[in-house]
Every structure is written in structure tokens, then in C-alpha cells.
Structure 1
Amino acid sequence: MSDSKIHLSKILPAWQWLQDYSKPKFRADLLAALIVIAMLVPQGMAYAMVAGLPPVTGLYASILPMIVYAMVGGSPTLSIGPVALISMMTFATLSPLYEVGSPVYIQAACLLALLVGILSTLLGIFRFGFLIRLISHPVIKSFIIASAVLIALSQVKFLVDVPLKSGNVVEFIQSAWQYLSLTNLQTLVFGLFAILFLIYAPKFLNSDLFKSFAHSMPFLIKALPLFLVFISIALVHFLHIDQYGIKTVGEIPSGFPPISMPFWSWDLVVQLLPGAAMITMVSFVESISIAQATAFQQRSELNSNQELVALGLANFSAGITASFPVTGSLSRTVVNADAGARTPMAGVLSSIFIVIVSLYFTGIFKELPLAILAATIIVSIWKLVDFKPFVDSWRYSKADGIAMWVTFFGVLCIDISTGLIIGIVSTFLLLLWRISRPHIAVIGLVEGTQHFRNISRHDVLTSTNIVSIRIDENLTFLNANTLKEFVISEVSKHPDLHHVVINCSSISNIDLSALETLEEINNELNKLNILTHLSEVKGPVMDRLKQSNLIDELSGKIYLTHYQAMHELDAQTFC
């Protein structure tokens, strides 16, 4: 392959997979697209409702973004489109500013997608894909779990047909107390029946009685939400159950999504920019995590910066086609992969099917009860609510456990964006706290070996006139004084001390403040006629120390190995 083609395949991955495309791949992608579309139609409309937008925008968000990602993205199975979490963040960003569902609200949602697209593309172009590492996995897990709770609560208003608030749990409880007596029992019963159907129908089909049938037709179980949609539409159309107060979606405009730039002004951009930045970060983390999981399974390459650009262009296309921010969907991606999708063409085919639905079949959905869409969201999102990670994190690391709980209650009690910021900040504060309190140990020789271990954990050889210290952390301004205090404490315990040896095997960096602290330790010990030695200094650290005064002023020596230092300083003990 020529250099120009290699370069083009990196910029436009579709160039590579389209060259090798074949009929078997098309058949596999077509089957996967048919299965995914059964989920995408009800999910897309439902997630648009979560965002406070007309249901048709959920269909719009599933057309051009999928095609764009297929051309530019690197994952063969990632399904781009509306997802519950980003829809909820869209609602949280826009609802305090505009009346939900109003024309200005819809325009602001389009502009928000456009801003997310621009930010994501710029981050990818300037190679900021490493930013995914700034959010710890415990915080991401907690954020998703808490957001799932809020998303589920946001749909309760469609089950009871009262205007419940769901920005946070406090608002929800207050509004529930206020409006509980106005609950529409018919809508509630209808919605609860839908929830029970979505929970127990798959279990029934997977039972021993129908297992062989279900395995031969995997489409059946995946399409249950779509079957429920059509059944509920039939009930409204033929039995007129809407006369009992069960509200429906109403008129849905048909046709291809309008392509135009959303209205914008600098004041509006400034208002939406913080929310757009948060959505950009979360959508990237969610999308890249899903893409990485499928890349492992399919042994395919994945470039985080390329994914940022692809996600940015997908969101840009969403912004100009009257929809809202999008990202990778875990549920649809898993179904897409399990259904045998071979290339991103599966996403293109799915978008073509959505176009057909938008052009010719939107009239079918006008009699779709809102309670059915709410039930679809609640059942799909509630699977994410799992408190086991909180227990596991607390057992393994109290710091990660604290970060998880802080994030969880921040999201539930304040709002989604603020909760995530609190989680990220708490992670960094706890990280700084841990770095400032490094593990420092006095070490001794394991008899019969050349290995040194912590004297409080192992039976080791030590010397009365030597203290060997190992610090298991990089030396920075945060912890340098902790090392100094530790040395002072050890010196006070050993009246016959002649040597202090600092084992540097775990130190990969020494900043200027820590260097000055080492110089102070060396000078103070020298006044007490105690020599300071270093051992096992790593190459990059030694390169920097050679540019300082410490090497020349060091009262002792720098040893290649710790055993060499101990053997030379006290050959009788460490023979």
C-alpha cells in the first residue's frame, strides 16, 4: 500500500474497509442492522423525550451521525446515536435556561450538539485523547449509576401523568409530595404492565420451554420493545384506551431531517459552553470505553484521537440536522456485535432504515403512549443501577470508595454536571492526599539473598549504625517534607547512627522542591557526622541530579545497588 493510501486510511478509515467489502460482509451487516433498528426506533424516540425534545429528533439523531461515524470512526461495531446519559445531560444543561420543548429550546439543543462537535473535533486534532485518563473508573461507574437513577426518576412523570421535577432527588421528592394525589391511575397501571412485560417476557422466552426457539430467532428477544410499541399503538387505535387519559406522542412530522445551521449568538454560546464541555468529556469517555471493549474482542486497532474527531464530526452532523448530542450506545453496540456486524456498514444500513421510517412510517407512531416509551427507558437504564461496585471499591481502596460516594450523592442531590465535577475534584484531592503521605519503610536484608524488605513485615538483617530507607513514591513538593520528618524520627531512634541510605528504586522523578529538601537532609545529617547515601537511582533521575549541586555536596556516595551499599558500609553484617 502506498504512503498516500496509508495516510488516507488513517484520516478516513472507511477507505480501508470499503476496499475489502464483500457480499458475505454485507449480509452479516444487514442482519445486524435489522436487529439494531428494532431497538433504535423506540430508544431514539424515548431518549429524545429524556432530553426534553420531540420524539422525532431521536430519529434524526440516528441518521447522519451514524453515517459520519462509519466513514471516520475506527470501531467496526460502535453504534452512534442518542443515549440516555447524554440526553439527560442535555436536559440538565438546557432546562434551567429555556422552556422545555419550546422552539428556542430545540434550537439550543441543536447548537449544543454543534458545540460538542466542535470541541470534540478540536481535542482530537490537537491530540488530547489522553484526557480520558483524567476521570478515574470508580468516578465514571458512580456517575453512570447515579445518572441512571435520575434518568429513571425523570420518566416517572410519564407513568403517573403529573409534572414531576427530576433535576435531583430532592426536587423529585418535593414535587412527588405535591402532585401525588393527581396521579392518573390508568396511565400508571398501563405503564407498570409495560415494565413487567419488558422484564419478564425475555425471561419467559429464555426458559427451557422456548429456549431452542429463542436461540434460532435471536431477533425476537431484541425486538420485544418494538413489539410492545406496536401492541400499544394497536390498543390506542382499535380500543381507544387514550380516552382514559393515557397520553400519546401525537403528530410526528415526516420527511428527511432539515439540514441547516442552528440559530446562534455569542451570548448563547457562552451560556451553553460549560454544558457542552461536560457533555464532550462524558460522551468521549462513554464512547471510547465501549469502543475499546469491542476492539479487544475483535483485535482491531483504536486511536483515541481519531475517535474524538469521529465523535466530533458525528455531533456536528447532529447539530445541523435538527437533533441533539450523541455518543456510542453500549446496549446497541453489544447487540450489533453479537448480531455479527462485520464493518461500520451496519451503522450506515441502520441509518438508511431510520430514513425510511422518518419518510413513510412516522404516522404510525402518533398513537404511541408516552408511558410505553417511559417504560422502555426505565427497564433499559435500571440494569445499570448496581451498588456492588461501591462495596468492592470501598474494600479495596477507601479513597476510591469515598470518590464514588461523593460523586453519587453529588449527582443525585445537586445535578449531573456538578456531581461529575465534584467527583473529579475529589479524585484529585484524594490523589494529592495520598501522594503527600507516601509509604516509607526502613528496610533490611533478607538473609541468604541480596533482597531488602520492610523490617516491620519480614525477618531481616539490620545494622545499628546504618538506617536504610525506601520511599515508594516520586519525590515532589507534596511529600518531600514527609521524608524529612521520617529521617529525623529515625535519627532520633539510633544514637550510634553513622549512615543513612535512601533506596531510590521506586522514585522516577524528583522535582525542585524535593531536591532542595534532599540537600537540606544531607546538610543537617552532615552536621551530626552522619553520611547520606543514595542507591539504585534510575537513569532519568540521575541525569537530572547531575545538573544539580546535590551530587557534589553529597556527604556519602551513590551506589548502583542497595546490596552494594550495605556490603561496603558494613561488610561484617551484610556479608
Structure 2
Amino acid sequence: MTTPKLNLLTYLPAWSWLKHYNKQSFKSDLLSAFIVIAMLVPQGMAYAIVAGLPPITGLYASVLPMMIYALIGGSPTLSIGPVALISMMTFATLNPLFELGSSAYIEAACLLAILVGLISLLLGIFKFGFLIRLISHPVIKSFIIASAVLIALSQVKLLLHIPLKIDNLPNFFYSFWQYKEQIHWPSLIFGICAILFLLFVPKLLQSSLISRRFNSNWINLFIKTTPLWLIIVAIFAIQKLGLIDLGIATVGAIPSGFPPLGLPIWNLDLVVQLLPGAAMIAMVSFVESISIAQATALQNRRELNSNQELIALGLANISAGVSASFPVTGSLSRTVVNADAGAKSPISGFLSSVFIVLVSLYFTGLFYYLPLVVLAATIMVSIWKLVDFKPFIETWHYSKADGIAMWITFFAVLFIDISAGLIIGVVTTFILLLWRISRPHIAVIGQIEGTEHFRNIHRHDAITLAKIISIRIDESLSFLNINSLKEFIIQEVSNNSSLQHVILNCSSVSSIDLSAVETLEDINIDLGKLGIQLHLSEVKGPVMDKLQHAVLLQQLRGKVFLTHYQAVAYLKQQMQQQELSKSHHY
């Protein structure tokens, strides 16, 4: 017997599509890269500011990570780079530890990216990707919405040009009250104009007046690159119209050149301090990235390996850490634009990173007069679309437990901080899950006339027998819920003095633990003392395997039946024979 060899090519998905790559695909990827770069440059710099880092680090974060993902990732259109949520989490992790903008802060951001990458990489290699998916969708939705509120509010300090604290709502409002007299009105007016530009220019271009005169493809291209046009207009206004004399803060000098490569200083104490934040960022970045990648994979009919995505995301973050930037993940907005622009392969992301290098080398001087309020406006307009309270209402109507988890997460993020809010949301979800499991749905079932089917007697007009009670529990049996079943049986037995048989329908029981087995043994003994037999029906294979190693089957006063219909029919026939025997005896 030969041992299978490890095929390293399975960790390089690029090998499969590069063999079939052609000139036509390259043209499509090149066009999509041009369009994405128009979004990526302003977004990258803006998200770096959200993370509390120099704008240039946002460009650095878009170079090596995208190249790495192009080779190792599985999605043809996923755009890896800085995003608002991860930038905000980076800020929340580092701000309490270091002075904003200091060299120690920047070093720690690089180290944080490497830690995020190592966590993701190890989880992917050892196929523990499922652990990250333990966060429920309602909690993730709530977390993103609450974080979007904080991210939008974090940009108010740039609009007002005052030092607001934005780790939570109480601190935000308290700091606003402290500095409200120092509001810089020219910055606020310029920022409002930028927001209006981003909101209404696309609507104007989509109006019938414009759409009739120009080609729709050119209009769509202009709409997608609106942030870039805003930057051009803003730089012109500041530089040529003399608005810089009003005191509007600009990006200033940005160093040009290729992203500097090197490992940040490793400090064990610092690693321990950053590890909780890195774990939270790794968890959220994977959930966000895999959700986007799965959506595009479904549309393109491609397979997607979640563990491979973890490996790709891990290596992308490590590359971000060694290239003087901060944690990255998949961007929804850029991925959608990339897909709509016709990207055929990850080469589009690779080309985007090449263009970023060219910008970093030769064009950083163009951003000297770029107002910071324009970057703030870009973030606020893009992120505010995520603030939608409909999911809260819909979830509450569907499930009160999930609704409670959503609201708790939302308020925890807003009133404590991002990381604590996520942890509280996850813990709340598990508490509510345990509460639900401990209160399983248990029903008395009866036979539907003319069929072999048994249903809940409170939902259907079903036939029952006075001496036989059929009970179905719709949950796997464990120490959490077995006592609820015992209490239910006790109540039903107490209400029926003529009862002779209890049939436990196990069709919904997929597993059973030792506590549940031992409690069933006690129930069997207690019923036996009352002259009542306990029977089991429709026991699944894995559950029967467990029962084979327990004494329950040897002590069981009743029988185990393949179907519930057979159980009722057998017991019914047995009771009829007993009645007939008694009548003959008399």
C-alpha cells in the first residue's frame, strides 16, 4: 500500500486557470483593473485614515495582498485590500495602546496584520475553518450595521476638524460637547459639498436627460469612478481656487516608492496584547471575505474551498504585515465592480496591484492637495448604505431569540466598543442556543386517519388510544433537555390513569449523550413500577449504536420498533388479544 503524496499544486488554484488563460481574458481583466483602481486609490487612503494610519499605507495594503490572493485564492473576482470594518477594528485594537500616528502605532499595525494572517493560515492548514463560522448571521448583520454607524461617525472629526473620540457613542457625544466651539466651518461646508457630489452626481447621470444623449456604458463607467472624479475636482478647487488658505486640512506629502519590506519588531508582551484583537479581526475578515467569495463563486459556477480561502487570506495578511500596512480582507464594493466590469480571472486583481505600485512610485505627489474631508465623505457615503434597520424587524418577527441577539450586539458595539460588542454578541447567541436546546419541542402525536403517518394532536385531527401515548421530541437528547422530556412524560402519565404504554418516537433524535441514556433508564424503571411499558420507535442508526453500549436495551420493558405505525399496530393487537383472553377466561 503506497502513501499518497502531498500535491502542492492543490494549494495553488492559479495553476488550473493559468493553463487556459488567453488574450481575450487579459483584455477583460485589464479593463476591470482600470475601473477598480479608480475606486481603490481613494478608498485605500480613506480606510488607512480610519485605521489611524498614514494614507500611503492604504495603497501599500493593496499591492502584495492582491498579488498573493491572485495566486492562492479561489475567487476570480474577489478584491482583497483595506475595508472600512477591518480598518475600524484595527483602530479599536491599537488606539488604547499607542499614540495615534506614532511609529510604535504603525509597527503594531504591521504586527497585527501578521498575527491575523498566522491565525487564518493555521486555521486553514488544519482545516478548522468551521470554527470561524460559529457566529450566527443575525449577529454578523447587527455587528456590521453598528460598526457602520461608528465608522461613519468616525469621519465626523475630519468634517468638523475637531479631535472626537469614536470608540463608542457616549465618548463621541461627550467629546463633541467638549470641542463643539472649535468646529471648522470651511471644512464642514467643503465636506457637505463632497457628500452631495457623491450622492447626486450618479443620480443626475442616470436621469433621462443625460442617459438619452450619452452611451450607457460610458455613463456607468463614470458613475463607478465618481470618487476619483471627486478627488480631481477637490484637488483642483484647493490648489487653483486658493481654498487651502481657509485652513482645510489636506493629505500633504506622501512618500513615493515601492512598499518597504521588512518584519516589524516582535515583542512577546505586545503579541499577547494584540492577540485578542487579531483573533476578532481574523474571524470577521474571513466571514466577510468568504461570504463575498461564495456569492461570486455561485454566479460563476465555480467551486470554493473555505479552508483554501483561509490560507489565501492568511498569506495575504502576512504579506500586508511585511509591506508596512495593516489587516486586509475582501471588499464587497470593489468585488461587485470588478465582476460587473467583466473580470475573468484573479489577474484583474494582480493588475490592479501593479497599477497601485505605479501610483506609489510616480503619482503620490498629485495627492498633496487632496482634502481629508473628501476621503471622509467617500467613506461616509459608501458605508452609510450598510445602515439598514429592516433586518432587525424581519429577524424579530421570525425569531425572538435571534432578534434579542441582534439588538444586544448592536447596543454593545455602540455603547462599549467593536471587539467587546462582537464577543458579547457571540456569547449571547450561544446562551440563547443552549436555552432553546434545553426547552425542546415535545408533542403528543396521533395517527392521521387512513394513513400510517403520525402528527401533533394539537395541529391535526389525529386518532389516539386511551392506553397508549405516543411522544415525539424534536431535538437530539442530551443533559440539557432530557429532564424536560422526563417532566413531560410525568405530566402525561399523571393525567392518564389508564395508561399502559409510552412510545417515544425518536425520528428527530440524531444523537444521544450518556446523561440522556441514564435518564431514560430511570424513566423506564419508574414507569415499570406503575405497570407501564416504555417503547422506542424509529431510532436512527447512530443513536442505536450508542444504545447498544448501554444497559437501557437490556432493561427496557417494552420493545424497539422500526416505525411508529408498527409500534402502535403491535401494541393495539396485543391489547386486543389480552381483552379477548380475559373475556374467554370469564
Counterpart secondary structure, 2:546: helix
After TM superposition, what 4+ stretches of structure 1 lie above 6 angstroms from structure 2? 3-6
* Residue identity in the other structure for 1:144: I
Please state how far the C-alpha of 1:573 moved relative to its aligned partner.
10
Cα deviation, 1:228-251, whole Å, max 9, x if unaligned, reads 001111111111201112110111
Write out aligned runs for 1:232-247 (5 A).
Answer: 232-247=234-249
Please state how far the C-alpha of 1:543 moved relative to its aligned partner.
1.3
Distance 1:204 1:489, change over 3 A: same
* Residue identity in the other structure for 2:447: L
C-alpha distance in structure 2 between counterparts of 1:294 and 1:224, whole Å: 24
Cα deviation, 1:136-185, whole Å, max 9, x if unaligned, reads 00001000000000000000000010001100011111111111121111
Cα deviation, 1:344-378, whole Å, max 9, x if unaligned, reads 00000000000000000000001100000000000
The answer for the alignment partner of 1:134 in structure 2 is 134
* Residue identity in the other structure for 1:215: S
1:171 corresponds to 2:171: yes
Please state how far the C-alpha of 1:133 moved relative to its aligned partner.
2.5
State percent identity of aligned pairs: 68
CA contact (8 A) 1:463 1:573 kept: no
Counterpart secondary structure, 1:209: helix
C-alpha distance in structure 1 between counterparts of 2:296 and 2:5, whole Å: 26
C-alpha distance in structure 1 between counterparts of 2:211 and 2:139, whole Å: 38
Please state how far the C-alpha of 1:211 moved relative to its aligned partner.
2.7
Counterpart secondary structure, 2:7: helix
Please state how far the C-alpha of 1:210 moved relative to its aligned partner.
2.3
Structure 1 unaligned regions, length at least 5: none
Please state how far the C-alpha of 1:9 moved relative to its aligned partner.
3.6
Counterpart secondary structure, 2:208: coil
Write out aligned runs for 1:213-228 (5 A).
Answer: 213=214, 215-217=216-218, 218-228=220-230
CA RMSD of aligned residues (A): 1.4
Write out aligned runs for 1:31-180 (5 A).
Answer: 31-180=31-180
* Residue identity in the other structure for 1:466: I
CA contact (8 A) 1:77 1:341 kept: yes
C-alpha distance in structure 1 between counterparts of 2:175 and 2:417, whole Å: 16
Structure 2 unaligned regions, length at least 5: 577-586
Please state how far the C-alpha of 1:91 moved relative to its aligned partner.
0.1
CA contact (8 A) 2:133 2:287 kept: no
Please state how far the C-alpha of 1:78 moved relative to its aligned partner.
0.4
C-alpha distance in structure 1 between counterparts of 2:317 and 2:17, whole Å: 23
Please state how far the C-alpha of 1:214 moved relative to its aligned partner.
5.8
* Residue identity in the other structure for 1:135: I
The answer for the alignment partner of 1:432 in structure 2 is 434
Distance 1:460 1:222, change over 3 A: same
The answer for the alignment partner of 1:321 in structure 2 is 323
Distance 1:436 1:248, change over 3 A: same
* Residue identity in the other structure for 1:280: A
Distance 1:341 1:573, change over 3 A: farther
Distance 1:252 1:512, change over 3 A: same
Please state how far the C-alpha of 1:197 moved relative to its aligned partner.
0.9
C-alpha distance in structure 2 between counterparts of 1:204 and 1:147, whole Å: 30
C-alpha distance in structure 2 between counterparts of 1:516 and 1:376, whole Å: 62
C-alpha distance in structure 1 between counterparts of 2:256 and 2:229, whole Å: 22
* Residue identity in the other structure for 1:194: A
* Residue identity in the other structure for 1:558: V
C-alpha distance in structure 1 between counterparts of 2:133 and 2:520, whole Å: 31
2:455 to 449, 453, 456: 453
Counterpart secondary structure, 2:462: coil
Please state how far the C-alpha of 1:16 moved relative to its aligned partner.
1.5
C-alpha distance in structure 2 between counterparts of 1:350 and 1:210, whole Å: 30
Counterpart secondary structure, 2:469: strand
Q: Which deviates more from structure 2 when the two are superposed, residues 204-213 or residues 93-102?
A: 204-213
The answer for the alignment partner of 2:579 in structure 1 is none
The answer for the alignment partner of 1:372 in structure 2 is 374
* Residue identity in the other structure for 1:57: T
The normalised TM-score by structure 2 is 0.96
C-alpha distance in structure 2 between counterparts of 1:133 and 1:8, whole Å: 26
C-alpha distance in structure 2 between counterparts of 1:16 and 1:458, whole Å: 56
Q: Which deviates more from structure 2 when the two are superposed, residues 422-431 or residues 3-12?
A: 3-12
CA contact (8 A) 1:206 1:214 kept: no
The normalised TM-score by structure 1 is 0.98
CA contact (8 A) 1:393 1:401 kept: yes
Write out aligned runs for 1:472-483 (5 A).
Answer: 472-483=474-485
Q: Which deviates more from structure 2 when the two are superposed, residues 321-330 or residues 562-571?
A: 562-571
* Residue identity in the other structure for 2:389: F
C-alpha distance in structure 2 between counterparts of 1:75 and 1:92, whole Å: 30
* Residue identity in the other structure for 2:490: I
Please state how far the C-alpha of 1:208 moved relative to its aligned partner.
1.6
C-alpha distance in structure 1 between counterparts of 2:573 and 2:177, whole Å: 79
Cα deviation, 1:523-550, whole Å, max 9, x if unaligned, reads 0000000000000001111111111101
1:260 to 243, 262, 267: 262
Cα deviation, 1:303-326, whole Å, max 9, x if unaligned, reads 011001100000000000000000
C-alpha distance in structure 1 between counterparts of 2:46 and 2:4, whole Å: 44
C-alpha distance in structure 2 between counterparts of 1:488 and 1:541, whole Å: 23
C-alpha distance in structure 1 between counterparts of 2:53 and 2:215, whole Å: 35
C-alpha distance in structure 1 between counterparts of 2:424 and 2:217, whole Å: 48
The answer for the alignment partner of 2:472 in structure 1 is 470
Cα deviation, 1:39-95, whole Å, max 9, x if unaligned, reads 000000000000000000000000010000101111110000000000000000000
* Residue identity in the other structure for 1:101: G
The answer for the alignment partner of 1:344 in structure 2 is 346
Write out aligned runs for 1:560-571 (5 A).
Answer: 560-571=562-573
The answer for the alignment partner of 1:188 in structure 2 is 188
Counterpart secondary structure, 2:209: coil
Cα deviation, 1:484-538, whole Å, max 9, x if unaligned, reads 0000000000000000000000000010000011001000000000000000001
Please state how far the C-alpha of 1:572 moved relative to its aligned partner.
9.7
Please state how far the C-alpha of 1:267 moved relative to its aligned partner.
1.0
The answer for the alignment partner of 1:519 in structure 2 is 521
C-alpha distance in structure 2 between counterparts of 1:110 and 1:268, whole Å: 12
CA contact (8 A) 2:533 2:558 kept: yes
C-alpha distance in structure 2 between counterparts of 1:181 and 1:4, whole Å: 71
Please state how far the C-alpha of 1:104 moved relative to its aligned partner.
0.5
* Residue identity in the other structure for 2:250: T
Counterpart secondary structure, 2:446: strand
The answer for the alignment partner of 1:199 in structure 2 is 199
C-alpha distance in structure 2 between counterparts of 1:28 and 1:336, whole Å: 10
Number of residue-to-residue matches in the alignment: 572
The answer for the alignment partner of 2:584 in structure 1 is none
The answer for the alignment partner of 1:30 in structure 2 is 30
Write out aligned runs for 1:483-502 (5 A).
Answer: 483-502=485-504
C-alpha distance in structure 2 between counterparts of 1:495 and 1:207, whole Å: 77
The answer for the alignment partner of 1:294 in structure 2 is 296
CA contact (8 A) 2:405 2:428 kept: yes
C-alpha distance in structure 1 between counterparts of 2:498 and 2:112, whole Å: 70
CA contact (8 A) 1:112 1:276 kept: yes
